[in-house]
Structure 1
Amino acid sequence: MVPSEIRGVHYLAPENPFLVPPNFSLLQSDIPNLHLNTLLSNFPNCHFPPSGHEFVVPPSSCLSSNSTSDEADEIQFNIIDERKHRRMISNRESARRSRMRKQKHLDELWSQVVRLRTENHNLIDKLNHVSESHDRVLQENARLKEEASALRQMLADMQIGTAFACTMEDLEDLPCNTSQLKPDPLNQSITPADMIHE
């Protein structure tokens, strides 16, 4: 190994690639690959290309920044996907709850419809019963009026009959005085034959 010649490889900042001097190819031919790789392995930020006079060492900060950026993008994408997934689940749950509320409200409305229909049928039945009762009452009132009229007529007839009977009884109870019945002298001169001639 020739350390004085190896000093020609200057280490630059990670941001800028560095060039290998032109005489490095001679060194490469003189130095075994194993020893050169061992020597270059002491430089953690240096990479020896398999061939060529010029090689670029990728800066570790750039790689780390790129990897960090990729990881940050992936994390950001994962966060966005997670938010989308959570939002989707939340929307589905909200839609399910909304459907349940609507179904419950619909069931309550249908129950009210059934209850109101039942009450309506009951009221119609009661109305029909009252109407039939009213008709029966009207018929009964008409019959009672006819009976009352007949009874009043019978009572009037009975009163007339009673008054006539009382009058006849009164006439029968009057005393008959035959002594007061005297023949009329004018009537005595008239004979039956005269009445015939007349």
Structure 2
Amino acid sequence: MATVVLLHSALGLTRHVHDWADALRGDGHRVETPDMFGGETFHDLDTAVAFADGEGGPPAFTRPVIAQVRDIDGPVIYAGFSLGACVAQLLAMRREHAAGAVLMSGLVAPDWLDGEAWPDGLPAQLHRAAGDDWVSDEEAAALLAFTDGACEEFVYPGDGHLFGFEGWPEYDDDASHRMFERVSDFLGELD
């Protein structure tokens, strides 16, 4: 059983994240879903991103996550969607007990990291839609080079940003299920 900290997108801690957490728990994993926004949720991405940016962007949200998961012992896999993927990446890079990272529809480009290095041997996955305007091919390539082979990339057809959120307008059933299977397999390997 892997311990996973699953972080929400800029939409907030919506049912989509709870659905993913429940499915991962069904595979036998311990999953924590910290609320980075203190209960605030949004129904459109532009408003959500404006809120997150106004709060300071991904670095500002590492502190509330750390506060909410400080009692977790042992290795942790940090995972997240969009904004949550960015926060997961930062935590996986900076927290001693990090055992892996799963970045879904988001990443922090290496040129934003002020010279930080990817931790030796830290495995990661990057999942993104081929035409997602929020995650460019160049940023993905830079992350893969930055991790020196530690990150495996999965690119799905389409241009939906939150394609893994059932019920969201960009939802892609096939891509979402394939992403879940790959994430679940990855967690099983780290267990």
Structure number with larger C-alpha Rg: 1
Q: Does the pair score TM above 0.5?
A: no
Q: Please give the TM-score of this superposition, normalised by the length of structure 1.
A: 0.15
Q: Which has the higher contact order (CA 8 A, sep 6+)?
A: 2
**If each structure's strand is expressed as a fraction of its own residues, which one has the higher value?**
2
